[in-house]
Structure 1
């Protein structure tokens, strides 16, 4: 019997639009889930954007890019919306832009609160 990790379960529930899952743009969620490096991170849709974290529980890592949809475009922001990394036309391009801006040391999300230096 295989057990899902928190990350796997969260992605599955988002993709299935499970009633207990957070709500987000289904096209952005699907595009992000198709990117193997993003699929290893914890997805967190909130306030019209899809954030990615290195951990599965508060406090969040808050040091990775995020995708926001706005007026027919997809905006990719750096950590904490500090910098606009780009504006693209499709969710697939947005997911690829996030991947291009992931830190080189960004591996699979760890279960639990963030213990790194950027914990908020």
Structure 2
């Protein structure tokens, strides 16, 4: 998967619905998010997305892509997301994807760490 497609794939997970998650999140995925229950499986994440308003837009910066072996991509980035009725959300994230077959990829790991609040202690 080329770099442009990697970032489009990742963006779709921020803005897509539960069907998008169901398609792109592996059954064996593990996630760590900054809200309870904190550690989730792929199935739990799909269920959580079904009940959560999606972000209307997200921008990435500080982007890194690593390809440690054929069929495995690990990315790290800063995400800034927004939606109507919500204050901005900023987090540092990692995602690991594995290829199942030609052009078919699934997320096997995702983590978000909230960015420090400017001026905070």
TM over 0.5: no
- Please identify which structure carries the higher strand content: 2
Q: Which has the higher helix share?
A: 1
TM-score range relative to shorter protein: under 0.3
Normalised TM-score (structure 2): 0.27
User: What TM-score results when the alignment is normalised by the length of structure 1?
Assistant: 0.27
